[in-house]
Amino acid sequence: MRKKVFVLVLVGFVLFFAGCAQQPEEKPTTTTPAATPTGPKEETLYFGAPISLSGKFAKEGQMSLWGMQVAAQWINENGGIKVGNKVYKVEIKYYDDESKKESVQSLIERLATVDKVKFILAPYSSGLTMAAAPIAEKYGVLMNSHGGASDYIFEQGYYYVVQTLSPASKYQTGFLDMVKTLDPDAKRLALVYEDKEFSRAVHQAAKEYAEKLGFEIVYEKTYPAGTTDLSPILNELKAANPDVLIGGGHFADGQLLAQQLAELNINIKAISILVAPSLPAFYEALGTKAEGISAPAQWETGVKYSPEVAEKLGVEWYGPTQEEFIKMFKDLAGEDAEPSYHVAEAAAAVLSYAKAIEKAQSTDVDRVREAMNDLEFMCVYGMWSIDPETGKQVGHDMVIIQWQNEEKKIVWPESAANAKPCYPMPTWDEKAEGKTCGS
């Protein structure tokens, strides 16, 4: 008896899951016969996405999803994607990947084979994107990375994997450009960064770039993850007497770096630290000590990218303006929510698909991928264009933020900036007396 019940339950399960798997097949063509018979044919186009809605990237995953939905909504409200006499409405088909590599891989497979989705938005983080890439390549579906910055992903020879956010190698280069423009005499550069793959990639590339710009590397040291005392390195750094410092890795060590530079009274004209300064908690913890410290960011609320800027630069603008974007985001996420850069990244990835499909006048994967090669446009996130060879993002610039008078200001590049860079930053003693970048 018990065995029978068990078998029944098992069969039920199998039927249930088979049913689930079948379900999306019913959908793709939702034609609207009620519309004028002579008008364009309306269809729904699905963009698939494994998204981390639980696990360690839950916060970033949710933000990315909101970004995709905002972009899809904007596309649909503004005439959809026009291909020939068809109009495609965009819908995001997503599954929770639990921030796990294994689920990402099976979800990509599922999206490609069961849901028959041809355009995939990559999962969040370099690690998960790296796991997803070979699967997308295998099934010949296009995958657009909006949260995987590592250059390594794009050096594997994958054809169907493209990137929307700036790669790691570009994180600190904008800051070096900025310093070079502000003060050509500031030549002594020091690097102090975490011994982890990401920060290593960022700073190795930055070092090469700095040498090209004519900087002299006077000090370079790494520290292991989880360090709670950087004084051995900083005591050495002090003797090297640098003009400019770049470094950091994650949040805790970046905060520690700034704190201990202050403690050891090491005055440097310009400092750029990865990750940490871009979060408000940085200023809350450090107070005026945070004044003048910069960080690279993919995007910040307040960037000046707009249809006017695009016109000035002679590129096409596509997508919502920043005001529209923030309003749509708040309608979706709640009045109190503030869009992080993940939202803009993901939105830009969706917009780039729409734009490329329209340019290719086809939903064929190969033709869209080809169209992407010389696609160039500006949206709320900034410029979008890729390197045809690797699929790496080359058009988008990192913005440099700087703490000025208790506020996070965008100081670089000039096309995005909403404030002038504060250079050289006040000394630690001046800051202790309450001097800020605004006073």
Partner 1 sequence: MIAEQLAANIIYGLLLGGVYGLATMGLSLIFGVLRVVNVGHGAFIMVGAFTAFWMFTLYSIPPLASIVVAVIVGLAMGFVVFMTIIRRLLDAPELSTLLATFGIGVFIEELSKFFWGPDYVGYSWDIGGISLPFTELPFTKLYAFGSSIVIAALLYVWFSRTKLGKAIRAVVEDKEGAMVCGINVNMVYALSFAIGIALTVTSGVLVTLFTPVGINVYMGGDYTLKAFVIAVLGGLGSPWGAFYAGFIFGLLENGSYTLLGLIPGVEPFGLTRFVSFTALLLILLLKPTGLLGGE
Site residues (vs partner 1, CB under 8 A): 195, 221-224, 226-229, 231-233, 235-236, 238-239, 251-253, 255-256, 258-259, 263-265, 281, 284-287, 289, 432
For residue 193, give the nearest of 136, 152, 253 by alpha carbon: 253
**Residue 156 contacts residue 177 (beta carbons within 8 Å):** no
Q: At its nearest, how many Å lie between partner 1 and the CB of residue 200? A: 11
Cβ-based nearer residue to partner 1, 136 or 297:
297
At closest approach, how far in Å is the CB of 334 from partner 1? 17
Residue number, 284 or 335, with CB nearest to partner 1? 284
Nearest distance from C-beta of residue 174 to partner 1, angstroms? 25
Is-contact 308 321, C-beta < 8 A?
no
Kind and range of the H or E run holding 76: helix 58-77
Instruction: For residue 279, give the H/E element and its range.
Output: none
Cβ-based nearer residue to partner 1, 12 or 287: 287
- In the complex with partner 1, which residue's Cβ is closer, 227 or 363? 227
Minimum distance between the CB of residue 391 and partner 1, rounded to whole angstroms? 33
3-state secondary structure 280-337: HHHHHHHHHHHCCCEEEECCCCCCCCCHHHHHHHCCEECCCCHHHHHHHHHHHHCCCC
- For residues 25 and 236, which CB has a smaller minimum distance to partner 1 in the complex? 236
Q: How far apart are CA 80 and CA 408, in angstroms?
A: 36
Q: Residue 399 CB, nearest distance to partner 1 (Å)?
A: 23
**Residue 370 dihedral angles phi and psi, to the nearest 5°:** -65, -40
Q: Residue 290 CB, nearest distance to partner 1 (Å)?
A: 9
In angstroms, rounded to a whole number, what is the distance separating the alpha carbons of residues 277 and 291?
10
Residues 231, 257 contacting (CB under 8 angstroms): no
Report how far residue 288's alpha carbon sits from residue 290's, in angstroms, rounded to the nearest whole number. 5
Cβ proximity to partner 1: between 315 and 432 the closer is 432
CB 390 within 8 A of CB 155: yes
Q: Smallest distance from the beta carbon of 284 to partner 1, in angstroms?
A: 7
Nearer to partner 1, 270 or 286 (CB): 286
Amino acid at residue number 130: M
Cβ closer to partner 1: 173 or 288? 288
Distances (CA, A) of 82 to 88, 91, 189: 6, 15, 51
Element (DSSP H or E) covering residue 252? helix 251-263
3-state secondary structure of 94: strand
CB nearer partner 1, residue 47 or residue 403: 403
Closer residue to partner 1, CB minimum distance, 115 or 194: 194
Torsion sign over Cα 396, 54, 401, 418:
positive
CB of 247 to partner 1, least distance (A): 13
Strands 244-248 and 216-223: unpaired
User: Closer to partner 1 at the Cβ: 233 or 344?
Assistant: 233
- What is the closest distance, in whole angstroms, from the C-beta atom of residue 293 to partner 1 in the complex? 13
For residue 439, give every residue at least 6 positions away whose Cβ sits within 8 Å of its Cβ, in sequence order, or none. Answer: 405
Query: Alpha-carbon distance 215 to 398, whole Å?
Result: 20
DSSP 91: E
Rg (CA), the chain: 24
Taking the complex as a whole, the smallest distance from the CB of residue 98 to partner 1 amounts, in Å, to 17
In the complex, the smallest distance separating the C-beta of residue 5 from partner 1, rounded to whole angstroms, is: 35
